[in-house]
Structure 1
Amino acid sequence: MILYPAIDLKGGACVRLWKGEMDHATVFSENPAAQAQAFEAAGCEWLHLVDLDGAFAGAPVNAAAVEAILKAVAVSTQLGGGVRDRATIERWLDLGVARVILGTAAVRDPELVKAAAKAHPGRIAVGVDARDGMAAVAGWAEATDIKATDLARRFEDAGVAAIIYTDIDRDGAMQGPNVTATAALARAVGIPVIASGGVSSMDDLRALKACGAPLDGVISGRALYDGRIEVAAAAALLKT
């Protein structure tokens, strides 16, 4: 399994939200590129980037911060937030993002996801963000009547690289991940699943490792900034 340190961008700064609420943001760094370098120096192999403002706007907003990160580090990056059309996908891939995450587009324009995955093998992921098991879109602000598992299954044969599954009510709350729901989703699809939301301790990482489902990786944010999880130790644990 791979550890993906999260860098969530709001107003050009590196922040963490509480349960996806934009008005409950804690700023951890005014220099996201420096934060990315710190994660790289600590031994991470990937970074998970999210343009939070872009997720609400429907188009990139924190592009300058993302580009600064791409120039500052050599590790691979995956990026989501505000990616709703082919031109934006192409732009980020051309700039060096290793993997683009489509969330809202997966619900509203699944054919875009499938076409992009076909055109860029291994470089398109689907973000499945759920509250009470149901998918949410547009920066988690809008609920849908689509079950998270059903949404993931839509792309079973599309060639997407990964499913990033986030339990919204766990995200940033430091209450532990939804291991049961994450494991159930991973068992329901053949696509690699990355767990996200609520990962706040080494014990949480151990629980995800021991869940019995084939998880590809784990995203963590606030716990890394608070020092509850140390990057090098977490990466080593997940590798074994």
Structure 2
Amino acid sequence: MRVVPSIDISRGMAVKRVRGKDGTGLVLGDPIKIAEELREMGYVSLHLVDLDAAEGKGDNVEVMERVMRGFSEVSVGGGIRDRSRLERFLSAGATKVVMSTLAFTQPDTFRRVVKGYEDRVLISVDYCDDRVLIRGWNESATSLEEAISHVNSLGVRGVIFTYVCNEGTRRGIDLNVGSYAKLIRGEKGYAGGIGSIQDLRELDRMGFNFAIVGMSLYTGVLRGVISV
């Protein structure tokens, strides 16, 4: 299983929030410098998120285009709700785009936006207490079980399960996620609460293709771990 570092960007700076709350967690600094350091450590994959765009509070697209350079695999998410933004990131070097809100609120529009790019689209299922969250994790959309059935009907590349309950806390993964992951058709990723090599090994056992690490990477707990 691949271990993929994340860089979350807000107001042009790399940050790591706790459960997505603005003003919590860490301010890491220049995202371009951090990307360079990750490449020097041997990472070839990157997960990049525009937090401001996800919340409808701004846009960091130009910075993100510079950050993704030099990685062989880049997934980009945050506020991708139209075809022009999707195509801009793919043209800039992203290998996958990550979408969430549109898939749940306007599925017909989602299908039109991603038509022809389905094999390069992942849907982020952001959840806590069996509820899927959208619009920057500010609204509840549906149950986790219903979301999985819906996602499977969209014919995209796969899913990222993001366990918002523990996101940014290093308190551990959702130990029940394996039962949901096995229902997914396609690629499977996980994020949220990863705090140890044991968590990574458990996700590997569950059949995940990749795990996204943030807080544990930047606090040194899992620094330099590229695969398990």
Same fold (TM over 0.5): yes
User: Could you say which residue in structure 1 is the equivalent of 2:49?
Assistant: 50
* Structure 1 residue 138 displacement after superposition: 0.8
Relative to total residues, which structure has the larger helix share, 1 or 2? 1
SS at match of 1:130: strand
- What stretches of structure 1 of length at least 5 have no aligned partner? none
Distance in 2 (CA, whole Å) between partners of 1:117 and 1:68 is 24
Tell me if structure 2 keeps the 8 A contact 1:114–1:155: no
User: Could you say which residue in structure 2 is the equivalent of 1:66?
Assistant: 64
Return closer, same or farther for 1:157/1:107 CA change in 2, 3 Å cut-off.
Answer: closer
User: Could you say which residue in structure 2 is the equivalent of 1:172?
Assistant: 168
* Structure 1 residue 220 displacement after superposition: 0.5
* Structure 1 residue 39 displacement after superposition: 1.4
User: Could you say which residue in structure 1 is the equivalent of 2:219?
Assistant: 226
Superposed CA deviations along residues 118-159 of structure 1, whole A, max 9, x for unmatched, are 411421110110111111111101122x11232132132433
Q: Give the TM-score taking structure 1 as reference length.
A: 0.89
User: Could you say which residue in structure 2 is the equivalent of 1:18?
Assistant: 18
* Structure 1 residue 23 displacement after superposition: 2.7
Aligned residue runs from structure 1 range 199-238, under 5 A: 199-210=194-205, 213-231=206-224, 234-237=225-228
Q: How many residues align?
A: 228
Return closer, same or farther for 1:184/1:115 CA change in 2, 3 Å cut-off.
Answer: farther
Superposed CA deviations along residues 140-179 of structure 1, whole A, max 9, x for unmatched, are 01122x1123213213243311201111011001101112
- What stretches of structure 2 of length at least 5 have no aligned partner? none
Distance in 1 (CA, whole Å) between partners of 2:200 and 2:126 is 20
Q: Give the TM-score taking structure 2 as reference length.
A: 0.93
* Structure 1 residue 35 displacement after superposition: 0.9
Aligned residue runs from structure 1 range 31-42, under 5 A: 31-42=30-41
CA RMSD of aligned residues (A): 1.7
Tell me if structure 1 keeps the 8 A contact 2:159–2:184: no
* Structure 1 residue 116 displacement after superposition: 4.3
